[in-house]
Amino acid sequence: EARMRRGLPTKKSIHGVKHIIAVASGKGGVGKSTLAINLALAIASFRHRVGVLDADIFGPSIPRLLNLKAEPQTSEKGDLIPLANFGVKAMSMGFLVGEDSPIVWRGLMESLNIFLLTILVMKALQQLLHQVQWGELDLLVIDMPPGTGDTQLTISQQIVLDGVVIVSTPQDIALVDARKGANMFTKVNVPILGIVQNMSVFVCPNCQHKVHVFGQNGVLKTSKEMGLDYLGDIPLDADICELSDFGTPVVVTKPDSFNAQCYKEVAKKIM
Ligand code: ADP
The CATH number of the domain holding residue 185 is 3.40.50.300
Residue range of the domain that includes 43: 2-270
| Cα Rg of the chain, angstroms | 18
**C-alpha distances in Å from residue 269, one per residue of 17, 36, 172, 232:** 20, 14, 25, 9
Which DSSP category does 127 fall into? Answer: H
The ligand 1 atom nearest the CA atom of 242: 16
The CA 6 to ligand 1 mean position distance, Å, reads 40
Ligand 1 pocket residue status of 264, Cβ below 6 Å: no
CA distance 82 to 72: 6
Q: Which atom of ligand 1 is nearest to the CA of 59?
A: 4
On the question of pLDDT at 189 being above 70, the answer is yes
Note every long-range contact of 205-210, with CB atoms under 8 Å and residues 24 or more positions apart, other chains counting. Answer: none
In this predicted structure, the answer to whether residue 152 has a pLDDT above a threshold of 90 is yes
Q: What is the model's pLDDT at position 215?
A: 81
| C-alpha 74 – ligand 1 centre gap (Å) | 31
Tell me what the mean pLDDT of segment 32-38 comes to. 98
Ligand 1 close to Cβ of residue 205 (< 6 A): no
How do beta strands 192-198 and 230-234 pair?
parallel
- The answer to whether residues 50 and 16 touch, using CB atoms and an 8 Å cutoff, is no
Quote the pLDDT of residue 117.
75
| DSSP state string for 223-242 | HHHHT--EEEEE---HHHHH
Q: Dihedral through CA 99, CA 105, CA 106, CA 110, nearest 10?
A: 170
Number of domains making up the chain? 1
Q: Which of 200, 241, 246, 265 to mutate to test the pocket of ligand 1 (most atoms within 8 A of CB)?
A: 241
Q: What is the mean pLDDT of the chain?
A: 91
Closest residue to atom 12 of ligand 1, CA basis: 31
Ligand 1 pocket test target in 25, 27, 33, 34 with most atoms within 8 Å of CB = 34
Give pLDDT, residue 40: 98
Which band of pLDDT confidence, cut at 50, 70 and 90, is reported for residue 102? low
Question: Cα(234)–Cα(1) distance, rounded to whole angstroms?
Answer: 41
Is residue 61 within 6 Å of ligand 1 at its C-beta? yes
Average pLDDT on 57-68 reads: 93
Q: Quote ipTM for the complex.
A: 0.99
Mean pLDDT score, 117-144: 93
Pairing mode of beta strands 83-85, 88-92: antiparallel
Global pTM reads: 0.93
- Residue 185's φ and ψ, nearest 5 degrees, are -65, -40
- Neighbouring C-beta atoms of residue 115, cutoff 10 Å: 8
